[in-house]
Amino acid sequence: MKISGARMVIESLKKEGVKTVFGYPGGAIMNVYDELYKQSDIQHVLNRHEQASVHAAEGFAKNSGEVGVAIVTSGPGFTNAVTGLANAYMDSTPMVVISGQVPMSLIGTDAFQEIDAVGISRACTKHNYLVTDAKQLPEIFKEAFHIARTGRPGPVHIDIPKDVTAQIEDFEYPDYVDIPTYRPENRGDIEAIKTAVEAIKASEQPLLYLGGGVVKSNSSGLVRKIAEQTGIPAVETLMARGVMGADNPLLISMLGMHGSYAANIAMSETDLVISLGARFDDRVTGKLSEFAKDAKVIHIDIDPSSIDKLVDVDYPIIGDLNFVLSDMLPLLTDIDSEKFADWRETINNNDKLHPLSYEKKEDILKPQQVIEKIGEMLGDNANITTDVGQHQMWTAQFYPFTRGRQFNTSGGLGTMGYGFPGAIGVKVADPNRVSINVTGDGSILMNIQELMTAVEYKIPVINVILNNNYLGMVRQWQTLFYEDRLSETDLSVQPDFIKVAESFGGIGYRVATIEEFEEAIRDAVEKNIVAIIEVAVDRRENVMPMVPAGGSLYNMMLK
């Protein structure tokens, strides 16, 4: 059939099974929005800022495992979306972002709202396209979704000039994709897997190092089976929280800059690192020359460029964790879990020596108490999203995550303002669970306009603001490393968050005790509407333990 390029965009999304898109219209993308208006199969969520549209699409993708989709216009519409693209790229999130562009005849003329979107997005996308003919659209969309969701997932950008969306051409959507230069290796080399298994059997103090790739590949069940079968303890990165489950006796905790004492010491003393879908990020490794320096390294990853990038790997395996771990599991059946009993006992003793803890006060709430109370009240029934800062680390440390995809945060890019729109996307993907955004008084103001989006579409996100009247994490660094010179981190002048919530049509609570907080959470969940719960917390509380930047994991500041 002959249809316009704009309708091809909509029909292509339908072919890919897309039910929800997030976006913000404008001149260059108006033809596509006109076609959106004419159909009812795809829901469009109108965010109040393009950055929020891309963050919401990412929250949807992170929670569902499906490809998230955002649509923006040219010029500032696209540049506003770049932070979201970069965030998704750093966190390996499958997304397709569609942008409008000025007509072909105006490209390169500095036309109104023209920007080199493809040039800008090249550094923060897995792949990108400038569509020059409507005939290309079906194949490009098929390729874009394939690239976004396969191999190491990531965002793909499609830039479409306005005159291309107006062209009338034949539409036939491809049945398959054949990209000779893009064929991710899914099945790991069986001989390499066997060699890695022999290394595990020969080790005395092995450690499972779990990264976000375990979540992306939906491999949590396999990882738990391997840990249970072998008795090998595990540490999780920030992006892997929930993989093992909070009550799993083989889970030590999170490791890294704000990881637990037991987790960081275990990584420092292990003789074999078994890295599953992790990329040895600097926030995890600390000083590279001291990181697990007496250990051999097994690294299993879908992305060959991640292997040997930062840490020398002794046993590299390129492949999808689902395939590799399925091949590995039967080869590990003859390992007696008691072999590692002494190693587990050493780790348990270290955990008892310096557990994750905090000192409660009578006159002010500690932020850790608030996180624990959310976990106690909602547990597995909540999906937790965070912004970036101290509240992010406290949430990672103290919430009892039970499953992969329960925790949704900005990891690699560390984007303040991600939390609220991300939580909106999570709620759209999983409407039957409570969506909580744990945020700070700095982060919430980055995208607070999304209160209008959440109210309009009846997406009941509960925003818990841990208010310490500071840019907390920056303040912590200034206190510890800059002799407490608090340069531009005091946020004592603030809006009335309760009135802000109410003015948008939501509900607001201001609490100062744990009893008041419990009552507010219960009421917000029962009312099932958009909410802000402002919690006054200890202004000077620090996130501990802490490994100073560039320091070794075993040299932690404990208090």
**What residue spans define the domains of the chain?**
2-170, 190-353, 367-536
Beta bridge partners of 99: 72, 159
- Is 90 exceeded by the pLDDT of residue 498? yes
In CATH terms, 190-353 corresponds, of 3.40.190.290, 3.30.70.120, 3.40.50.1220, 3.30.1440.10, to: 3.40.50.1220
The alpha-helical segments, DSSP class H, found in 204-302 are 212-216, 220-230, 261-269, 282-285
CATH superfamily, domain 367-536, is Thiamin diphosphate (ThDP)-binding fold, Pyr/PP domains (3.40.50.970)
Measured between alpha carbons, how far is 484 from 478 in angstroms, rounded to an integer? 5
pLDDT per position as a tens digit, 186-223 = 999 999 999 999 999 999 999 999 999 999 999 999 99
pLDDT per position as a tens digit, 449-465 = 999 999 999 999 999 99
* Given 11, 16, 35, 50, the catalytic residue: 50
Average pLDDT over residues 276-305: 96
Is 113 annotated as catalytic?
yes
SS3 531: strand
Q: How confident is the model at residue 1 (pLDDT cuts 50, 70, 90)?
A: confident
Instruction: Tell me if domain 190-353 and domain 367-536 are identical in fold.
Output: yes
* Given 162, 216, 373, 427, the catalytic residue: 162
Contacts of 203 (CB under 8 A, 6+ apart): 271, 272, 296
Would you state the pLDDT for residue 327? Answer: 97
Measured between alpha carbons, how far is 162 from 396 in angstroms, rounded to an integer? 44
Would you state the pLDDT for residue 159? Answer: 98
* Given 14, 15, 104, 113, the catalytic residue: 113
E strand or H helix at 69: strand 68-72
Measured between alpha carbons, how far is 87 from 90 in angstroms, rounded to an integer? 5
Beta bridge partners of 129: 158
SS3 507: strand
* Given 19, 39, 43, 112, the catalytic residue: 112
Taking the model in full, what pTM does it have?
0.97
For the domain covering 2-170, report its CATH number.
Answer: 3.40.50.970
Is 112 annotated as catalytic?
yes
* Given 473, 544, 546, 556, the catalytic residue: 473
Measured between alpha carbons, how far is 523 from 545 in angstroms, rounded to an integer? 34
